[in-house]
Amino acid sequence: MIDLKGKSAIVTGATRGIGLEIAKVLAENGAGVAILDIQLGDESSVKEVSALGVQCKGYACDVSNPETVEAVFKQVLADFGKIDILVNNAGITRDNLMIRMKQEDFDSVLNVNLRSAFICTKAIAQHFMRNRGGRIINMASINGIRTQAGQANYAASKAGIIGLTKSNAMELSARGITVNAIAPGFIKTAMTEKLPPEAIAKYKEAIPLKDLGNPRDVANAVAFLASDEAGYITGQVLGVDGGLGA
Ligand SMILES: NC(=O)c1ccc[n+]([C@@H]2O[C@H](COP(=O)([O-])OP(=O)(O)OC[C@H]3O[C@@H](n4cnc5c(N)ncnc54)[C@H](O)[C@@H]3O)[C@@H](O)[C@H]2O)c1
């Protein structure tokens, strides 16, 4: 049984979509949650998670900016005392065919999806090493494994996340820290709402389980990887994709 009581997590990109669901599922299992997002909005995500009876606080943070991350992580550690779980979830898309893709659209996707995971992992690594334990879960994508036209930036960022996950797992394992990635397929969020209905119908047909996934499917996998039960799993990429990546 997953029990995260007494543990605290940082979840990036957690005011909506998959990140918010991760924050909620971690909280339902007893963990306190620091919600980091570039936009906190009306803090409804913080209210929703706090209502589950755990410590929860929101922090406005552009996770691709190392100085901001350093300052915010310092504040999170002061507020929570100890952090046990880091979920690098924040991500964006700027799809276009490679020949039409603007340099800034390549750079911003790499910065938010990949550079941020390096920055946030560096910002928490020493805390985890001192505690001789910790869980890092990085959000990859099926598009980092098998991809499609129009996603040179996104596919490169998610393939990069997989490499980063494996290398960090090797470096941090001696201190009892695990690093894993989750590779969702197509999940019902604002990110996939942008897709035309014909594309959604095509994906549903191609997915062995014949439907898009829900944010909760991904969040449940994160809660497992964050738990004591997953202590012997590191450097892995777990597909949550209805069988699409099989
Ligand atoms: N939805 C899918 O089908 C799908 C599939 C595979 C992987 N993913 C990955 O899952 C993660 C979450 O996706 P989602 O569908 O929930 O997306 P979403 O667009 O609904 O949410 C992304 C969140 O990240 C935040 N964010 C963006 N830039 C940020 C920055 N610089 N700093 C901090 N926060 C920032 C946004 O404000 C937003 O709250 C992403 O990494 C995405 O690539 C999603």
| Three-state secondary structure of 128-149 | HHHHCCEEEEEECCHHHCCCCC
Q: Which of 46, 92, 188, 193 to mutate to test the pocket of ligand 1 (most atoms within 8 A of CB)?
A: 92
The catalytic residue positions are: 154
For residue 174, how far is its CA from the centre of ligand 1 (angstroms)? 31
Per-residue pLDDT averaged across 206-214, rounded? Answer: 97
54 pLDDT tier (thresholds 50, 70, 90): very high
Which candidate, 116, 115, 136, places its Cα nearest to that of 127?
136
- Ligand 1 pocket by Cβ (under 6 Å): 12-13, 15-19, 37-39, 61-64, 89-92, 112-113, 139, 141, 184, 186-187, 189-192
CB atoms within 10 A of CB 88: 30
Mutate to test the pocket of ligand 1, among 35, 187, 240 (most ligand atoms within 8 A of CB): 187
pLDDT at 195: 85
For residue 79, give both structure tokens.
């507020």
Q: Is the pLDDT of residue 132 over 90?
A: yes
- Distance in angstroms (rounded) separating the CA atoms of residues 78 and 147: 41
pLDDT for 99-116, tens place per residue?
999 999 999 999 999 999
pLDDT value for 190: 86
Rounded Cα distance, 141 and 181, in Å: 9
Whole-Å CA distances, 203 to 18, 159, 183? 19, 21, 16
* Predicted local distance difference test score (pLDDT) of residue 117: 99
Residue 44 CB neighbours (<10 A): 13
Q: Output the pLDDT for position 192.
A: 84
Give 98's pLDDT tier (boundaries 50, 70, 90).
very high
Average per-residue pLDDT for the chain? 97
Nearest protein CA to atom 30 of ligand 1, as residue: 62
Distance CA 121, CA 138 (A): 10
Domains of the chain and any CATH numbers: 8-240 (3.40.50.720)
What are the beta bridge partners of residue 137? 87, 180
What is the Cα–Cα distance from 80 to 96, expressed in whole angstroms? 41
Q: What is the mean pLDDT of residues 43-49?
A: 98
Using a cut of 0.95, tell me whether the model's pTM lies above it.
yes
Please write the tens of the pLDDT for every residue from 161-193.
Answer: 999 999 999 999 999 999 999 999 999 998 888
Quick one: which atom of ligand 1 is closest to the CA of 215?
A: 16
Q: Using an 8 Å Cβ cutoff, are 17 and 189 in contact?
A: yes
Ligand 1: which of 38, 111, 116 to mutate, judged by most atoms within 8 Å of the beta carbon?
A: 38
When pLDDT is cut at 50, 70 and 90, the band that residue 130 belongs to is very high
For the CA of 187, the closest atom of ligand 1 is 3
Query: Helices 116-131 and 152-172 meet at what angle, rounded to 10?
Result: 20
- What percent of the chain has pLDDT above 70? 100
Residue 194 has pLDDT above 90, yes or no: no
- Over residues 113-126, the mean pLDDT reads 98
